[in-house]
Amino acid sequence: MFQKIIILLIIFFSAVIQVSVFPRLFPSGLSPEIVLMLVIFWTSRDGFEKTWPKAVLSGFMLDLFYFWPAGTNIIAFALVSYGVGFFARRFTISQKNMGLLVLLLLSAMGSAANSLILLILAKIYKGLGLELGIFLPDFWNRMIFLKILIDMLLFVMIYWPLSGLERFLSFYGKKSMQGRFFK
């Protein structure tokens, strides 16, 4: 239970920072996506099967904070998480040798895929008469490469603190054998 509360707080405060702080510091469309990088981190470590509830919760929270139709970021995060989980499983052997390089490649692919999925969903919603706001960059301009680079730098910045937190929280996930003679 303690782990789930901590993860909920991490997602909440990351979403608040992404929605309220980063747009003030970065030009429109170049704001780093810290919540997406969290989902990519968790998916690359635990796989899609264990991470999809976190991806759905993260997407729902961002949909609420951006005032977008519910399901926009949920769909994007679920698809990105599935893709990252698929490729992370394939490169498990490589991660032993070139771990951070493979994770940076996965974060770049996840960031590009998320932008493309959100752009497609924005076109669909625009056809339905809904508007998603100014937070979406145009995918086919050169700014997308700068956005991917910013997201990769953010991933590097959050990688080691989150790894330490995961090790700390894994202690709470284990069942104590104290006082037991038999399993």
**pLDDT digit string, tens, across residues 80-129:** 999 999 988 887 655 555 577 888 889 999 998 998 888 888 878 777 66
Q: Provide the pLDDT for residue 173.
A: 62
Q: Provide the pLDDT for residue 101.
A: 82
Amino acid, res. 16: V
Q: Give the Cα separation of 76 and 33 in Å (integer).
A: 13
Catalogue the long-range contacts made by 114-121 (C-beta closer than 8 Å, 24 or more residues apart): 114/33, 114/36, 114/76, 114/77, 114/80, 115/139, 115/144, 115/147, 117/75, 117/76, 117/79, 117/80, 118/72, 118/73, 118/76, 121/72, 121/75, 121/76
Token pair 């991490």 is at which residue? 10
Tokens of 169: 């929280």
Asked if the model's pLDDT at residue 140 lies above 80, the reply is no
Which DSSP state fits 180? -
Residue 178 pLDDT class (50, 70, 90 cuts): low
Q: Give the Cα separation of 57 and 171 in Å (integer).
A: 23
pLDDT tens-place string over residues 23-67:
889 887 788 999 999 999 999 888 899 999 999 999 999 999 988
Residue 78 pLDDT class (50, 70, 90 cuts): very high
Q: Provide the pLDDT for residue 52.
A: 93
Q: Give the Cα separation of 2 and 134 in Å (integer).
A: 37
Residue 174 pLDDT class (50, 70, 90 cuts): low
Asked if the model's pLDDT at residue 76 lies above 60, the reply is yes
